[in-house]
Amino acid sequence: MRARPVPIPPAGLERHDRLDALRGLAMVWMTVFHASFDLNNFRLIAPQDFYRDPFWTGQRLVIVSIFLACAGASQAVAHRQGVSWPRFWRRWAQIAGGALAVSLGSWWMFPNSWISFGVLHAMAVMALLVRLLAPLGTPALVALAGLALVAPQVLSDPFFDSRWTNWVGLVTHKPRTEDYVPLLPWLGMVLAGFVACRGLLSRQPGLLTGPLPRALVPLARLGRWSLGYYLVHQPVLIGLCMAWRALH
């Protein structure tokens, strides 16, 4: 049976339900990952190594990759729909404000490993860069994406190991922080998402604009509220863990 379109009300501009559903899937996966991290942090499960065990580090890699690819794709949609600079800045301010909240909250929870440049910080910087680079042709963007992906492997230097410079990504060792999504190599993933989405919108728009199976509509709805959800889900999970500890 073919999937029937289930409309989701637009929020100012046309939404692409399939892109929202992919983002929503990443959000569900992220929630499970963070719930496991919090349970481990409160010693409510068998000890896990979230910093070195490939089972956990691999999941984080995939989750962040999906989020940033979707961020790049969203910029391609915005560019195609002619989103103005004032509208861009309003959304950018929300992301930057969220990044600041994450830094302050993590400083309170983890003063020795607080988040100075995590996924929201990266999205704020990369969204601006991608918008400025959007007029470039596909070959140039693909080349920049490739350079971004390989740069940390060939250009690392101790100068970038401080908290004030490690956001660039050319570090010689990973900093001690609860979340680290530096400009390099992750700008490459955002550019890849931008290029892929722009190509699909030009050549096969149906792959993005087609209908969703009804069962996936909740994921699309969740994907539309990614920033707010990202900001509240960890406090809720941590609160639940604290309540469980207090009651038991």
Length of the chain in terms of residues written: 248
Per-residue pLDDT tens digits of the chain, which is 248 residues long: 444 444 443 444 678 999 999 999 999 999 999 999 999 999 999 999 999 999 999 999 999 999 999 999 999 999 999 999 999 999 999 999 999 999 999 999 889 999 999 999 999 999 999 999 999 999 999 999 999 999 999 999 999 999 999 999 999 999 999 999 999 999 999 999 999 999 999 999 888 888 899 999 999 999 999 999 999 999 999 999 999 998 87
> Per the omega criterion (within 30 degrees of 0), is the bond before 182 cis?
no
Question: What residue spans define the domains of the chain?
Answer: 17-247
pLDDT of amino acid 13: 62
Q: What is the pTM of this model?
A: 0.90
In DSSP terms, which residues pair with 13 in a beta bridge? Answer: 11
Q: Is residue 88 within 8 Å of residue 75, measured between CB atoms?
A: no
Report d(CA 143, CA 164) in Å as an integer: 28
